[in-house]
Amino acid sequence: MKKIATLLFVSFLGGVITLGSYKLFFDQGTQHFLPQENSSSSSFIPTTNSTRAYGTNADFTEAAEKTVHAVVHVKNVAVFKRGPRSIWEYYPYNNEGGRALQGAGSGVIITPDGYIVTNNHVIDGASEIEVTLNNNKTYKAEVIGSDPISDIALIKVDPDENLQYIPFGDSDNTQLGEWVLAVGNPFNLKSTVTAGIISAKARDLNMRDNSPQSFIQTDAAINPGNSGGALVNINGELIGINTAISSPSGSYIGYAFAVPSNNARKIVEDIMEFGDVQQGILGIRGRSINDEVIREFDLSTSQGVMVADVTPGSGAAKSGIQQMDIIKKIDDIDINKFSDLTGYINSKRPGDEVLVKLMRDGREREVNVKLSKLDTYQVAALGLEVANATPEELEAYNAPYGVKISRMLVDNLPSADLVGGIISEINGEEVTSVRDVEEIMQSRTRSNPIVIVFYTRDGEKQRMIWK
């Protein structure tokens, strides 16, 4: 019995010593902290510096309370002589013989004096815009400006008091798997909040190089009426403007997309300060790297953007960027595909400088590039954008004169990829600059077809008719 008692005592004493040693050596000086993130300051729009919340025990109540009163219901009343554009726009005929169509979407209050960001397609063609707050107050709104390419619009109401608003967060600092809330008015169900995560970043829905699209993808439920609403993080900061869903039925099936807040904020600030969007360009035409490109050019890397062409006189050309260079990083943003590059550059202005990290002949290089201004004209009737062509580009395409097709605005064109081609004539008139295109398009009779003559990237001359 004494031996058993002695053994128990020794075991107990050993446990006490072990526990004490652990407390002494491991608990002293231990600090628990969450990483800090800073948002870029804005000249016009309130932003915030915050701490990201991690973990599985996320509480959405504070973020919902902060944001639900700053997301509004936007009603768009327009009159069309033709049939409705979609099943969501059926509305009784008006007295003028046209069809009064009432569209509904959402908007995000971004300043206390009544500036609201929404989608361009929510207010497009509106003869009257009505905004209803969460407290049921209603105001008439005016359109300050819009950008059809990014689908962002800025409207303004004149409230009788300061409004609750959502500060912009830094969408570049968002991470895959991060909790988010979508706040909006789906199916006219006012002030609806849904939760999900960030499923992907820099998502290009066109799946085509040289596309300007770069969306945040989320699985938070978004439906018709959510357009223009807020995508916020768990701290209640605006990280995106809900814009689109991917669905064969037209309703949410798990894939929703938002314009990143850094891009939306830049567009809004441009509209406020300049009246239109100031687009800075790197000055390259790039190709995302895939198996086909790796085999064709015998590349040693599978990530990045390969420079296919460099625009003469651009910032890229002046900094020494060359064809076949592989762009790996711009500032602190990793470039894995072309939408990573366009998404970040679209948040910059002409004159801004970026640090480009690239590979050439297997060696890493760094160059500073000053972004140049893109002198373009968006030909909405053709669904494309044109830019002035350089003499070198005209010579390369065997074109005597013309303007360059810089990018597509829509997918349903009566031709395959035209980007990079040269338009030399429109309706029988020669075009030598984007100003020529603008004058021709503004003076044409809208009911008449549009005939263009253009040169493909192979130097082949073709003719195309838009009806």
Domain that holds residue 258: 171-274
What secondary structure does DSSP assign to 354-394, as a single string?
EEEEEEETTEEEEEEEEPEE--EEEETTTTEEEEEPPHHHH
Could you report the per-residue pLDDT of 160-215, keeping only the tens digit for each? 999 999 999 999 999 999 999 999 999 888 889 999 999 999 988 765 444 457 89
Question: Is-contact 423 395, C-beta < 8 A?
Answer: no
pLDDT digits (tens, 9 = 90+) for 225-234: 999 999 999 9
In order of 65, 120, 183, 204, 230, the CA distances from 191 in angstroms are 11, 21, 7, 29, 11
> Is 53 in contact with 116 (CB distance < 8 Å)?
no
pTM score, whole prediction: 0.70
Q: Secondary structure of 291-317 in the HEC alphabet? A: HHHHHHHCCCCCCCEEEEEECCCCHHH
Q: Report how far Cα 230 is from the mean position of its chain's Cα atoms.
A: 13
358: exposed, middle or buried (Cβ count in 10 Å: 0-12, 13-18, 19+): buried
Question: What CATH number is attached to the domain comprising 262?
Answer: 2.40.10.10
Q: Which of 151, 219, 325, 340 is catalytic?
A: 151
Strands (E), 16-63: 36-37, 50-51
Regarding whether 341 and 264 lie in a shared domain, the answer is no
Q: Are 311 and 369 in contact (CB under 8 A)?
A: no
Catalytic, out of 69, 121, 261, 436: 121
Residue 47 DSSP symbol: B
Residues 227 and 311 in one domain: no
Say whether both 430 and 381 belong to one domain.
yes
For this structure, is 151 an active site residue? Answer: yes
Calpha distance 221→194 (Å, rounded):
6
What pLDDT score does 321 carry?
96
Does the annotation count 247 as an active-site position?
A: no
Q: Could you say which of 373, 396, 411 is where a domain stops?
A: 373
Q: Each residue's pLDDT tens digit in the chain (467 positions)?
A: 444 444 444 444 444 444 444 343 334 433 332 232 333 444 567 776 654 544 446 788 999 999 999 999 999 887 554 443 333 332 333 334 444 556 789 999 999 999 999 999 999 888 899 999 999 999 999 999 998 878 999 999 999 999 999 999 999 999 999 999 999 999 888 889 999 999 999 988 765 444 457 899 999 999 989 999 999 999 999 999 999 887 777 777 788 999 999 999 999 999 999 888 888 889 898 888 888 888 888 888 888 999 988 887 889 999 999 999 999 999 999 999 888 998 999 999 999 999 999 999 889 999 999 998 877 777 877 888 888 887 878 888 889 999 988 777 765 455 545 777 899 999 999 999 888 888 888 788 877 889 999 898 778 888 888 77
- Choose the catalytic residue: 50, 146, 214, 227: 227
- Determine the Cα–Cα distance for residues 316 and 308; give it in Å rounded to an integer: 12
Is 121 a known active-site residue?
A: yes
My answer on whether 246 and 286 are in the same domain is: no
**Structurally, how many domains does the chain consist of?**
4
Do 299 and 366 fall into the same domain?
yes
Q: Which of 156, 179, 205 is the last residue of a domain?
A: 156
